[in-house]
Structure 1
Amino acid sequence: MHASELYVGLMSGTSLDGVDAALVEISEGKSRLVHAIFQVFDDDLRQELLALNQAGHNELLRASLAGNALASRYTSAVQTLLNETMHPVLAISAIGCHGQTIRHRPDLGFTIQIGNAALLAELTGISVITDFRSRDIAAGGQGAPLVPAFHAAAFRSAQRNRVIVNIGGISNLTWLPATGAVTGFDCGPGNLLLDGWTQRHLGSPFDRDGAWAASGILIPELLHNMLDFAFFSAAPPKSTGRDMFHLEWLQAFLYGSYAPADVQATLLELSARSITDAIRRHCGEADEIYLCGGGAHNTALRKRLAEMLAPLPLKLTDEFGIGTDWVEATAFAWLAYRTRHSQPGNLPEVTGAQGPRILGAIYNA
């Protein structure tokens, strides 16, 4: 039995757009989102983080410097969050910081999230819990996705079979049956390829509302060839990231002189199809589906998902009191709570780990 505590959750994901910060009140394991903010990454940091996803010159030094820069950005987000809610530093039990993934290779037994948690603890004066994925990987798991454990705690129903779909850079789903084991896995690229293709051809960070994709025409052979990629048919547990899906991966499928808008339309269909196929294969008794993540704002993608999943109702996690943009940041506040109280944070049925594990490394204030 624990009294109510306040945690800050920080999430900067595969989309590389910035950091989500959530102030979360947790009592008896139940979470309430108090306030949340988003702070955008400046272009130089974003480009460096993108470059660090691949091998490059002097990358150990560059990754360390980028980690320091991230700690500074995270600190700014925490301070803004506390200022806006008028909470003192001493009121916060801990910060749960996912860190920025620059490598994710569970097949080789490692994952790397940078962010210099020691510096973050020093700058904020708040204990920091980070590196949540590594212990799960050490136990033979994928280290991701980790949010299904939080989805089960926050969104599960004893009467309804639910699917939670998070569409970030990578899309992942959580299967929450009314009875039985919770499962979840990465489906494939969510916004990652859509954003990258938009940036290359329009110079914009993303395709607002999917308008550019909606202007194009589906290329059936391109869609077929991409969906034939082994990851999509692989059985869970499975996870992925920029190590697997990137514009060079896409380029290998572009045999013809396709119009860029048509490629964008096909990438949107790829995201929708990979999510829908995963639900059909692994969540056959679903009653309702809830979306979260940045992709939930893509009007064209939501419309396509609704068409493909009909008659199942497609809703947003806002109905549970946690807006679509804040679910993952809230999840990492909850995971920090679990670590603080020596409780497991992973679901072996999701990640494939040998058993439940207490996740994360603690940097005390």
Structure 2
Amino acid sequence: MKIYKIIGLMSGTSLDGLDLAYCHIWEKNGVWEFDIKETKSVKYSSEMLNTLKNAISLSAEKLIKLHNTYGTWLGEQTSIFINVNKLDVDYIASHGHTTHHRPEMALTFQVGSGQHLANATGIKVIADFRTNDLALGGQGAPLVPIGDRMFFNEYDYCLNLGGISNVSFEVKDKRIAYDIGLANMILNYITRKVDLEYDEDGKLARSGNINTKMLEQLNSLKYYLLPHPKSIGYEWFLEEVVPIVEDNDDTIENLLHTSIHHICDKVAQQINLNFKHNKQQLLITGGGALNSFLIETLQQKLGDTTKVVVPEKIIIEFKEALVFALMSVLRVEQLTNVLSSVTGAKKDSSSGVLFIPN
């Protein structure tokens, strides 16, 4: 039985840092299984955070330079992780950091050059998982649903609350998934106004009250009326959401409280639209799963028919890195790792580009 030893790397839209997960992945009796052996999160320096956040406005020349230097930085961080834990690694699977995502223009870009990463570590790298799907007419997102299907299929729904909220579930043997809308991206934008990285456990939000005007503005965003497949990126947040936040002169507590009610309204709406049966289970991962006020609010809005399940912390924080590790294994095996039922592409694909170190 072949056991793949992979390091998955993930940097999400919430910009809270780089996640590294060293995983063993294998197939047994037709079922893929995993074991997360070691993990690490690397917080971005204020300089790196600002560089990535503002990368959308860089010239082509400066963006490519960032692509290369960030790839080398990923390699340096991965090498430290390998050396400290004395890891035996077959491949590195790197998502990179999304700076541009305009699927309506068939455009997506993740900084973090796979070649620079491979050269910095001396290990084969599989990266650029999204481009092929766009070339096939898809959204290039979400990608995590292949992992939901193969690793977490005992749950009726898998919800990820990263910078963006997205959901994944089965309908008549087809995996359906799409970006619901906002999650930590708006919460972190608000807390950074008072020099806080995030609202720990939702304590500030819990003490606030609903700003009715802001809630109506957020709930009326046109994106929510679009059919799936659909996905959003930082551009949408800057153009559509930031002006609403800035238009409402209110306390930080009230802005956070209102945002959480909006997030939960939209998630509950989508779960109820796709209702399966009583006592259905919703698995929640991503940073939002650690926000107890958000989780309590969502459970209240869902009622008794849907049970919110928050797993162990290692799954909450490193599920996406794990799934990119899985995607790299499937790429090596030349098996499907991107689902057209999710992205809207012409066909399923085995996506990702292999980079050989020099």
Same fold (TM over 0.5): yes
Equivalent pair of 1:6/1:93 in contact (CA under 8 Å):
yes
Alpha carbon RMSD of aligned pairs, Å? Answer: 1.9
Distance 1:174 1:243 in 2: 23
Pick the aligned partner of 1:270 from 262, 271, 291: 262
Equivalent position of 1:68 in the other structure:
68
Q: CA deviation at 1:255?
A: 4.6
Distance 2:75 2:248 in 1: 47
Equivalent position of 1:7 in the other structure:
6
Aligned pairs (5 A) from 1:53-92: 53=56, 55-56=57-58, 59-87=59-87, 91-92=88-89
Q: CA deviation at 1:256?
A: 5.2
Matched, 1:32 2:31: no
% of aligned pairs identical? 27
Q: CA deviation at 1:254?
A: 5.3
Cα distance change, pair 184–191 in 1 and its aligned pair in 2 (3 A): same
Moved more, 29-38 or 5-14: 29-38
Distance 2:190 2:245 in 1: 14
Matched, 1:259 2:251: yes
Aligned pairs (5 A) from 1:293-312: 293-311=286-304, 312=306
**Unpaired runs of at least 5, structure 2:** none
What is the letter of the counterpart of residue 309 of structure 2?
K
Matched, 1:328 2:297: no
Equivalent pair of 1:172/1:184 in contact (CA under 8 Å):
yes
Equivalent position of 1:119 in the other structure:
116
Equivalent position of 2:54 in the other structure:
51
Q: TM (normalized to structure 1)?
A: 0.91
Distance 1:51 1:256 in 2: 23
Equivalent pair of 2:221/2:240 in contact (CA under 8 Å):
no
Equivalent pair of 1:142/1:237 in contact (CA under 8 Å):
yes
Question: SS of 1:30's equivalent?
Answer: strand
Distance 2:268 2:230 in 1: 16
Equivalent position of 1:218 in the other structure:
210
Distance 1:85 1:250 in 2: 41
Pick the aligned partner of 2:148 from 123, 137, 151: 151
- Could you list the per-position Cα deviations for residues 199-236 of structure 1 after superposition, in whole angstroms to 9, with x for gaps in the alignment? 02x11111111111112110123212211111112111
Pick the aligned partner of 1:347 from 339, 345, 355: 339
Equivalent pair of 1:187/1:275 in contact (CA under 8 Å):
yes
Q: CA deviation at 1:253?
A: 6.3
Equivalent pair of 1:193/1:247 in contact (CA under 8 Å):
no
Equivalent pair of 2:217/2:244 in contact (CA under 8 Å):
no
- Could you list the per-position Cα deviations for residues 171-210 of structure 1 after superposition, in whole angstroms to 9, with x for gaps in the alignment? 1111146x6322111111110011011102x111111111
Equivalent pair of 1:103/1:112 in contact (CA under 8 Å):
yes
Pick the aligned partner of 1:184 from 168, 177, 183: 177
Distance 1:36 1:295 in 2: 19
Equivalent pair of 2:3/2:25 in contact (CA under 8 Å):
yes
Matched, 1:279 2:282: no
Equivalent position of 1:196 in the other structure:
189
Distance 2:195 2:223 in 1: 29
Moved more, 64-73 or 179-188: 64-73
Question: SS of 1:143's equivalent?
Answer: coil
Cα distance change, pair 6–265 in 1 and its aligned pair in 2 (3 A): same
Number of aligned residues: 351
Q: TM (normalized to structure 2)?
A: 0.92
Q: CA deviation at 1:73?
A: 3.2
Distance 1:52 1:256 in 2: 27
What is the letter of the counterpart of residue 78 of structure 2?
V
Cα distance change, pair 9–257 in 1 and its aligned pair in 2 (3 A): closer
Equivalent position of 1:139 in the other structure:
136
Distance 1:187 1:19 in 2: 23
Matched, 1:363 2:355: yes
Cα distance change, pair 283–361 in 1 and its aligned pair in 2 (3 A): farther
What is the letter of the counterpart of residue 212 of structure 2?
P
Q: CA deviation at 1:283?
A: 4.1
Cα distance change, pair 317–138 in 1 and its aligned pair in 2 (3 A): farther
Q: CA deviation at 1:251?
A: 2.0
Q: CA deviation at 1:258?
A: 3.0
What is the letter of the counterpart of residue 8 of structure 2?
G
**Unpaired runs of at least 5, structure 1:** none
Question: SS of 2:9's equivalent?
Answer: strand
Q: CA deviation at 1:168?
A: 0.4
Matched, 1:169 2:166: no
Question: SS of 1:211's equivalent?
Answer: helix
